[in-house]
Amino acid sequence: MLRLHGVEVIFGLCGDTSLPFYDALARLDHGITHVLTRDERSAAYMADAYARVTGKVGVCEGPSGGGATYILPGVVEANESSIPVLAITSDISVSSRGRFTLTELDQKALFAPLTKWNAVIDRGADIPRTIRAAFSAMTTGTPGAAHIGLPFDVQKEAVDEADLWADESLGRYPARRIAPDTQAIERAAGIIRAAKSPLFICGGGVVIAGAEEELRTLAERIGAPVATTISGQGSIAETHELAVGVVGSNGGVAETRAVVDEADLIIFVGCRAGSVTTERWRHPEPGATKVIHMDTNPAVMDATYQTDCAIIGDAKLALAALDRLLAPDFKSPPQRTLNEAFIADRKKAKFDAFHALANSDDTPIRPERIVADLQAVLPDDAIVIADPGTPCPYFSAFYEFKRSGRHFLSNRAHGALGYALPAAVGAHYGRPDATVVAIMGDGAFGFCVGELETIVRLNIPATLIVISNSVFGWIKAGQKTGYDARYFSVDFTRTDHAKVAEAYGVKSWRVSAPADLKTALAEAIALDGPALVDIIAQPLQDANAPVSEWVA
């Protein structure tokens, strides 16, 4: 059933209750690659990254008990990011329930609040229809994660061969797109015609829908700049004249906030307008602008801002419909206050301040220097994966992705540490010809170090960058700005990550001098195999991070 839905890769970890499933994977001619991981959480993060870069469903699996609980962080991250990941967890036998069987827990209740769709199969005959239902739920409407519990005895039951069929198109997303209501499109067009300074703020929904070209065409037609959330990066090439960059409290700066504040119409596209994007619902100021909200999920409408026009539908179809309706009215872009010159001026101010720090030879090495040197040596089609903490705000704010599409990954829904390293494995399997770089803090490295063995065993040609400052920097920066620098339980001992990686068989560099950084990064990226660069970097609480709550 997985193969009939186009599944080519499964990421997972073995367990007692998974033995029949593993035996089937060993015996049958299915053509699916199984990637053995060292942690179920990593398996889910790999499936998440695979789904993001391919547009296909990512599949992960794990055993009952602890395996089912370990896989949860990656499943909820995917679900809240509208990424279709199917988690299959084996379970104790149906006949063993309620008898204090080892690893017994209520898997359906466990996964219910964390997934879009969830089931535990009680009969082998139900396997085909259950898997069909899971793929339909994951890839239609607003995409999301699903869970299937597969008991030990059910894995060995017979299935009617005539029931083994599937719609392979449901293995990709978005499937069965939803077209917007015509009246909503007409209302939105009227609001746009009357606006003096419209601004798009795009979330992950644009890239998920593959609507980059429709967005660019409409933005150019009506002369509206395009800002993004972190998840929305790739909606437009960041070198485009109308590209503002990331806005919000994580990755946004004063110059990008000024663009938001200048707008008299905000067009949210595939964006929930949550606390980070809007700096806790202050930018845009509630009631100060008109709002058009476009999303596949009706629940986001009016949840954070009063909506003047709600468009429920697929971003690709909705943007195209708007463009067709507005084309006769905008034969040339109108004169706007928010124009290309305004955007260019704000971007220049933003990057002048950035380059002043990026060119510094101060030690420890500034995070800005890391971003600039990596930008100088990476190809434009590289996949950059940033863990939360130091990497995310810096790379979302200052690394310029010169192509639209999915080139930047960060787990923004819940922001758990330990995402980037395993995600590099999933990204490689999804896009094997791309250069993959995963950047993490040393706190995050401690969460996922065991997957270095996976990367070496599979010879994944990923470059891993550890920003080493021996602190949980995000929390320490919060203690500095919000609690009068009363630092408590955030510092830890510095690890020589290069030596740790070398013990696993990873070619490694340790860099403490800014002058050596670019060369080390270039050599690591050029290596045909796994590489790690350990960078002694400025602690986040001492840095000039693009995080608004830390700025006076």
Q: What is the DSSP track for 127-141? A: HHHHHHHHHHHHHSS
| CA 494 to chain centroid | 28
Q: What are 252's two structure tokens?
A: 């946004």
Domain boundaries, the chain: 3-171, 182-342, 359-550
Question: Into which CATH architecture does domain 359-550 fall?
Answer: 3-Layer(aba) Sandwich (3.40)
| CA 227 to chain centroid | 17
Q: What spatial distance separates the first Cα and last Cα of the chain, rounded to whole Å?
A: 56
List, in order, residues 6 or more apart from 512 with CB less than 8 Å away: 363, 364, 365, 535, 536
The residue assigned the tokens 């960078």 is: 535
28 three-class SS:
coil
Please give the sequence-ordered ranges of beta strands (E in DSSP) within 56-115, or none if there are none. 58-62, 85-91
Cut 0.85: pTM above it: yes
Residues 89, 17: Cα–Cα separation, whole Å = 9
Residues 194, 329: Cα–Cα separation, whole Å = 11
Find residue 386's DSSP bridge partners: 439
Q: Cis omega (within 30 of 0) on the bond before 328?
A: no
CATH T-level fold of 182-342: Rossmann fold (3.40.50)
For CA atoms 151, 155, 159, 164, the dihedral sign is positive
- Residue 395, H or E segment: helix 391-398
- Closest among 448, 439, 386, 422 to 47, alpha carbons compared: 422
For CA atoms 143, 246, 536, 474, the dihedral sign is negative
Helices (H), 159-247: 182-194, 205-209, 212-222
Question: Into which CATH architecture does domain 3-171 fall?
Answer: 3-Layer(aba) Sandwich (3.40)
359-550 has the same fold as 182-342: yes
What is the number of other CB atoms lying within 10 angstroms of the CB of residue 372? 19
The residue assigned the tokens 């819940």 is: 414
- Closest among 210, 213, 237 to 55, alpha carbons compared: 210
What is the number of other CB atoms lying within 10 angstroms of the CB of residue 539? 19
Instruction: Please list the pLDDT of the chain residue by residue as tens digits (552 residues).
Output: 999 999 999 999 999 999 999 999 999 999 999 999 999 999 999 999 999 999 999 999 999 999 999 999 999 999 999 999 999 999 999 999 999 999 999 999 999 999 999 999 999 999 999 999 999 999 999 999 999 999 999 999 999 999 999 999 999 999 999 999 999 999 999 999 999 999 999 999 999 999 999 999 999 999 999 999 999 999 999 999 999 999 999 999 999 999 999 999 999 999 999 999 999 999 999 999 999 999 999 999 999 999 999 999 999 999 999 999 999 999 888 889 899 999 999 999 999 999 999 999 999 999 999 999 999 999 999 999 999 989 999 999 999 999 999 999 999 999 999 999 999 999 999 999 999 999 999 999 999 999 999 999 999 999 999 999 999 999 999 999 999 999 999 999 999 999 999 999 999 999 999 999 999 999 999 999 999 999 999 999 999 999 988 875
Residues 133, 117: Cα–Cα separation, whole Å = 9
Residues 552, 544: Cα–Cα separation, whole Å = 11
- Residue 315, H or E segment: helix 315-326
